[in-house]
C-alpha cells in the first residue's frame, strides 16, 4: 500500500497515512488525511480554517489508479488548487491565467500548490515551474532520440554480423542461401538509407 511517508494528520494525528492528503496553502504546516478532510471540521485550537484552500496530494498508487495505470512522472498532468479562492482542477498554465484574471491585486503571502514554498509573487514563481517543466520535457525528448539512434545502430550492426556469417558459408548455388543473402542485404541497405535520411534531415 502506498502511504505519505513522514506525514501526520494534524487532526487525528495518524502518521504515514494512506489515501488522499490535503495540504493547506495558507498555514505554515498543516495536513489532513482524507477522513478528517471529509468531516469538514474546523480546528479551533489552531489558526487553520475550513475556508483555507487546500491542495490535494495523491500517492503514486492512487494516482495510477485514478489515471487508469498512467505512471506519475514529473511531466504528469496536475490538478492544482488556487491558493486564493480554493477552486481546483487547474493545470499549471490555466492556473497562471486564472490568477492573472481573477487575483492580480491579491498580494498576501500564500503557498505554491506545487512545491508548497511561501510566495509573495505567486505568478512569477509559477512561471519558474513552467520553465523547469520545459527543460525537463526537452531533456526527455533528447534522451529518447539518443536511445532510438542507439537502437537503430545496434540493429544495423546485427544485420551486418548476420550477413557476414551468412556470406562465410560459401553456398552460392543453394537457393535458400541466395534468398537469405538477398533478404539481409535488402534489410541492411534499407536501414542505411533510413539512418542517412534522419542524419541529413
Q: For all residues of the chain together, what is the average pLDDT?
A: 75
Does the pLDDT at position 175 exceed 90? no
Does the pLDDT at position 200 exceed 60? no
For residues 20 and 62, the answer to whether their CB atoms sit within 8 Å is yes
Please state which CATH number belongs to domain 1-72. 3.30.60.90
Q: Tell me the whole-structure pTM to 2 decimals.
A: 0.59
C-alpha dist (Å) from residue 83 to 32, 102, 111, 112, 152: 16, 12, 7, 7, 48
Alpha carbon distance 124, 115 (integer Å): 14
Residue ranges of the alpha helices (H) in the chain? 34-39, 60-66, 92-102, 122-167, 175-200
What whole-number percentage of the chain has pLDDT above 90? 22
User: How far, rounded to the nearest angstrom, does the alpha carbon of residue 53 sit from its chain's CA centroid?
Assistant: 24
Domain boundaries, the chain: 1-72, 73-199
Q: Report which listed range, 29-38, 66-75, 161-170, is most confident.
A: 29-38
Amino acid at each position: 500500500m502506498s502511504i505519505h511517508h513522514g506525514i501526520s494528520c494534524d487532526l487525528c494525528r495518524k502518521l504515514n497515512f494512506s489515501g488522499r492528503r490535503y495540504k493547506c496553502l495558507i498555514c505554515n504546516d498543516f495536513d489532513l488525511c482524507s477522513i478528517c478532510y471529509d468531516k469538514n471540521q474546523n480546528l479551533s485550537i489552531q489558526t487553520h480554517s475550513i475556508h483555507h484552500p487546500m491542495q490535494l496530494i495523491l500517492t503514486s498508487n492512487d494516482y495510477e489508479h485514478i489515471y487508469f495505470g498512467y505512471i506519475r512522472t514529473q511531466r504528469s498532468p496536475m490538478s492544482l488548487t488556487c491558493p486564493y479562492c480554493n477552486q481546483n482542477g487547474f493545470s499549471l498554465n490555466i492556473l497562471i491565467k486564472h490568477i492573472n484574471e481573477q487575483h492580480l491585486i491579491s498580494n498576501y503571502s500564500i503557498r505554491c500548490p506545487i512545491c508548497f514554498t511561501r510566495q509573495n509573487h505567486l505568478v512569477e514563481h509559477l512561471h519558474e515551474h513552467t520553465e523547469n517543466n520545459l527543460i525537463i520535457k526537452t531533456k526527455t525528448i533528447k534522451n529518447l532520440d539518443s536511445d532510438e539512434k542507439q537502437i537503430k545502430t545496434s540493429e544495423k550492426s546485427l544485420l551486418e554480423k548476420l550477413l557476414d556469417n551468412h556470406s562465410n558459408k560459401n553456398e552460392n548455388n543453394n537457393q535458400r542461401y541466395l534468398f537469405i543473402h538477398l533478404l539481409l542485404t535488402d534489410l541492411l541497405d534499407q536501414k542505411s538509407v533510413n539512418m542517412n535520411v534522419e542524419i541529413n534531415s
